[in-house]
Structure 1
């Protein structure tokens, strides 16, 4: 293990699949003890077993983290198992629908408020006392559409804009306690969400999503996890209140430049993490994520 997070303890929500799986495995390779958090139907146990088999330290936590009692219980589990908490990664989220606003399902909006906003608030609120003791750090998942807006996913982008603004305010508020707060803003990443077969996009949206990337391809979960690693490490000790976009240039583009990228440059770089659950993300309404938030 390289040791950039040696002796650190991290909670990673949505850690059973997609970008969350990559974060958990990347952190574990760098020496962190990881609490892999997910819903009952997520492959959390598989990820924990894979980390343990590779010599890392990890435990799983299953539950609906939009609930205050569950959020508190998860933090307690981390501290009870490993002694303290240094890092909170608010990665969990859902992407259940695409449509123009007048046709957008109301229940999909309610589902996103519950699973994209409430968990960030509840988990952060519950973790702050422990993070203040350790002078720790929080990194949450924004999105490029939360910065610039995007057609057909306006409500989803709005939930991510909330996360990004919440993080900026929290960074100012918690600086006096030594707690850093930042965001990562992924663009089109090679997970369940950006493929028409496994997510809510149709064929046209999928094509435009990739063609709109100046680098001409989807990013990989590992490429996103690398940025989470930097922000969670002591290397980012003077970084707070920032959003780091990992989007292949989407937020600076106004056309479909990916169409002009030659095929050999569209190839993804070699990956070093074995991600068995890369396309198991929350891309539809699931019963274990629809319960009451109270």
Structure 2
């Protein structure tokens, strides 16, 4: 049976940890050659090696992808190594601080703009000439907060609102070039961002985001990667400019809906991927 991304070449930004690690490993299992891209402190080399050990094809790339010249180098590496580029996944992002706007640091705001907005802009700009050749596609990381907003992190939700509108705009302008552009909008996912021990959320916020889903739990990185896989594949050939929520029903939940979820819904699926870096997400502006 043909794999769903057989013969495809993909770049995944933020590929070293959290959802990005799951996307890289899912794509590789489905036949893609993957450039695992991230910041120098991200475990992108580890993820690439783990894919290779499973029999997949992956290479690492490290650098500040918010800089256009670095983004262009990443695309050049993909084309030099594999001869083309079919898929760009704009997954890179950060969640550096939770605070009321009156207390939100300018440093954290600038970090959000750099990693959540400028990286997507630079990578999309660098990749489009190659994606136009292959009639490829872009899948970008939005968020339920990009539609609803998010208390104590209004700037984060604002950056995701930008990604939603930016990607829809790309879809509108790139259809004439045969390039599809879509958004995956996760809710609370079981990564370092949503645990008080590894991210900026406090205990109350950690509890609220889980109870705010209809399913009463965090999603898994693999559950999100499954949706990226569909949108990146030829199965989504008639899908462009779309936002796919992967949020356990957060967008339609009313009150602490998770308290009423059945026990079967509250149980995370086991999944197939071995994810070693799901809690390694770099969220802090402090190095």
TM-score range normalised by the length of the shorter chain: over 0.9
2:21–2:277 Cα contact (<8 Å) kept: yes
Asked whether 1:243 is paired with 2:243, we answer: yes
In structure 2, do the counterparts of structure 1 residues 124 and 210 end up closer, same or farther at CA, with 3 Å as the change threshold?
A: same
What corresponds to 2:260 in structure 1? 260
**Using the alignment, how far apart are the partners of 1:286 and 1:273 within structure 2?**
31
Unaligned runs of 5+ in 1: 288-294
What corresponds to 1:83 in structure 2? 83
- Counterparts of 1:124-273 in structure 2, within 5 Å, are 124-273=124-273
**Using the alignment, how far apart are the partners of 1:105 and 1:165 within structure 2?**
25
**Using the alignment, how far apart are the partners of 1:161 and 1:2 within structure 2?**
36
**Using the alignment, how far apart are the partners of 1:21 and 1:98 within structure 2?**
24
TM-score by length of 2: 0.98
What corresponds to 2:18 in structure 1? 18
1:2–1:29 Cα contact (<8 Å) kept: no
- Counterparts of 1:5-154 in structure 2, within 5 Å, are 5-154=5-154
What is the deviation of 1:2? 5.5
**Using the alignment, how far apart are the partners of 2:140 and 2:243 within structure 1?**
9
Query: Structure 1: which 4+ aligned runs deviate by more than 4 Å?
Result: none
**Using the alignment, how far apart are the partners of 2:7 and 2:161 within structure 1?**
33
Aligned CA RMSD, in angstroms, stands at 1.0
**Using the alignment, how far apart are the partners of 1:263 and 1:249 within structure 2?**
16
What is the deviation of 1:262? 3.8
1:38–1:44 Cα contact (<8 Å) kept: yes
What is the deviation of 1:153? 1.2
Unaligned runs of 5+ in 2: none
**Using the alignment, how far apart are the partners of 1:2 and 1:65 within structure 2?**
33
What is the deviation of 1:46? 0.7
**Using the alignment, how far apart are the partners of 1:254 and 1:145 within structure 2?**
15
Deviation per CA, 1:26-55: give whole Å up to 9, x if none. Answer: 000000000000111111111001100111
Bigger Cα displacement from structure 2, 143-152 vs 18-27: 143-152
Deviation per CA, 1:173-213: give whole Å up to 9, x if none. Answer: 00000000000000000000000000000000000010001
What corresponds to 1:291 in structure 2? none
SS of alignment partner, residue 12 of structure 1: strand
**Using the alignment, how far apart are the partners of 2:262 and 2:196 within structure 1?**
23
Deviation per CA, 1:189-241: give whole Å up to 9, x if none. Answer: 00000000000000000000100010110000000000000000000000000
**Using the alignment, how far apart are the partners of 1:78 and 1:121 within structure 2?**
18
TM-score by length of 1: 0.96
**Using the alignment, how far apart are the partners of 2:30 and 2:158 within structure 1?**
33
